[in-house]
C-alpha cells in the first residue's frame, strides 16, 4: 500500500467551478462501463488513466435511489480505499484523501444555508485528526481517534485563491457568525457535516447509502466524481481546509454531467 499517490497533472478544478454549475444545468447523460466482468450501468463512465494511482483512478460514478435512500457509488481501476495519507503527527499541514461527489444540490437540503456553495458528498481518511466526534468507528470506546478510517461527510465548497489560484476550499465559518448548520456538525469552523453513514468498500467499488427526508429533491441533481487530496492550512486558520491536489475527475472537465438514476 502506498501512502501517497503520484499526483495527476493538476486539473483546473477551481478555474472551472463557476462554469461547471451553469453547464451542469444544461448537460445530461448516461453511460455504461464493464469492469472485471461487473456491469456498471448509468452514471458517468471514465477511461482508466495510467497517470493516476489505481485506488483513485475513477472508471465509474453513479448516484441511484430506491425509496428514500440515495446510493453514492464510485468504481476505480484498482482496489478502492487502498491508499491513505501518511501520518505526520500534527494537524497543521496534514493531508486528507477523498472520494468526492460534487453535486448541484442546494446545501439547504442537508442543513446548511441556501446557496452557500457547492454541496459535495465525500468519503475521507486522515490519520492526524478526527472529525466525527459522535461516532466511534473503530469501536474502541474512544470516538476521537478514528480519523484514519474511511468515513463520510457533507461539505460545502467555494473557490479561494488563498488555496492557490482558482482552487477550492471547504467554506470557512467567520468568527462570530452563526450560520445554519446540520445537527451532526462536528464543531469545526467550516461548513462540514459528519452524519455517520458508513462507506462500504468492495474490491474496485465504494458505495454509501444516504437517507433523505425529501428524496424528490435529489431526483434532478447533477453530479460528478472526483478523487483528491485536501490539506489543512499550516496556520490552521482561514482557509482551514483546501483542495491541494486533484487526482482525477470522472467527467474530465467537472461539468457535472451525471444525473441521478440515469
CB-based contact 167:14 (threshold 8 Å): yes
The Cα 178–Cα 170 span in angstroms is 17
Q: What is the CA radius of gyration of the chain?
A: 17
What does the pLDDT average to over 103-121?
Answer: 98
Cis amide bond preceding 114, omega within 30:
no
Tell which wins on pLDDT, 231 or 131: 231
Residue with cell 480519523: 147
CA distances from 39 to 75, 193, 238, 261 (A): 11, 32, 43, 15
CB-based contact 259:28 (threshold 8 Å): yes
Return left, alpha or beta for 150; rule: phi > 0 is left, psi -120 to 50 is alpha, else beta.
Answer: beta
CB-based contact 55:83 (threshold 8 Å): yes
Per-residue pLDDT of 139-190, as tens digits, reads 778 776 667 799 999 999 999 999 999 999 999 999 999 999 999 999 999 9
Per-residue pLDDT of 55-101, as tens digits, reads 999 999 999 999 999 999 999 999 999 999 999 999 999 999 999 99
| pTM reported for the whole predicted model | 0.84
According to DSSP, the β-strands at 69-76 and 58-66 are: antiparallel
CB-based contact 247:111 (threshold 8 Å): no
CA distances from 108 to 105, 112, 115 (A): 8, 5, 7
Amino acid at each position: 500500500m502506498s501512502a501517497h499517490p503520484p499526483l495527476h497533472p493538476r486539473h483546473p478544478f477551481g478555474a472551472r467551478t463557476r462554469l461547471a454549475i451553469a453547464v451542469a444545468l444544461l448537460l445530461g447523460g448516461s453511460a455504461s462501463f464493464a469492469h472485471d466482468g461487473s456491469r456498471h450501468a448509468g452514471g458517468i463512465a471514465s477511461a482508466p488513466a495510467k497517470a493516476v494511482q489505481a485506488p483513485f483512478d475513477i472508471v465509474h460514478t453513479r448516484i441511484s435511489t430506491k425509496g428514500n435512500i440515495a446510493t453514492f457509488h464510485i468504481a476505480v481501476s484498482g482496489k478502492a480505499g487502498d491508499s491513505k495519507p501518511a501520518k505526520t503527527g500534527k494537524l497543521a499541514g496534514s493531508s486528507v484523501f477523498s472520494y468526492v461527489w460534487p453535486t448541484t444540490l442546494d446545501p439547504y437540503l442537508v442543513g446548511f444555508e441556501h446557496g452557500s456553495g457547492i454541496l459535495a458528498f465525500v468519503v475521507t481518511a486522515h490519520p492526524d485528526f478526527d472529525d466525527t466526534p459522535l461516532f466511534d468507528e473503530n469501536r474502541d470506546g474512544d470516538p476521537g481517534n478514528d480519523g484514519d478510517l474511511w468515513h463520510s461527510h457533507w461539505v460545502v465548497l467555494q473557490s479561494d485563491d488563498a488555496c492557490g489560484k482558482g482552487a477550492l476550499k471547504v467554506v470557512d465559518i467567520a468568527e462570530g457568525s452563526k450560520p445554519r448548520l446540520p445537527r451532526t456538525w462536528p464543531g469545526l469552523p467550516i461548513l462540514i457535516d459528519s452524519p455517520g453513514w458508513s462507506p462500504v468498500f468492495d474490491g474496485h467499488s465504494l458505495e454509501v447509502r444516504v437517507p433523505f427526508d425529501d428524496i424528490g429533491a435529489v431526483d434532478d441533481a447533477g453530479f460528478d466524481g472526483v478523487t483528491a487530496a485536501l490539506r489543512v492550512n499550516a496556520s490552521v486558520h482561514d482557509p482551514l481546509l483546501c483542495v491541494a491536489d486533484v487526482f482525477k475527475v470522472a467527467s474530465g472537465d467537472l461539468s457535472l454531467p451525471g444525473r441521478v438514476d440515469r
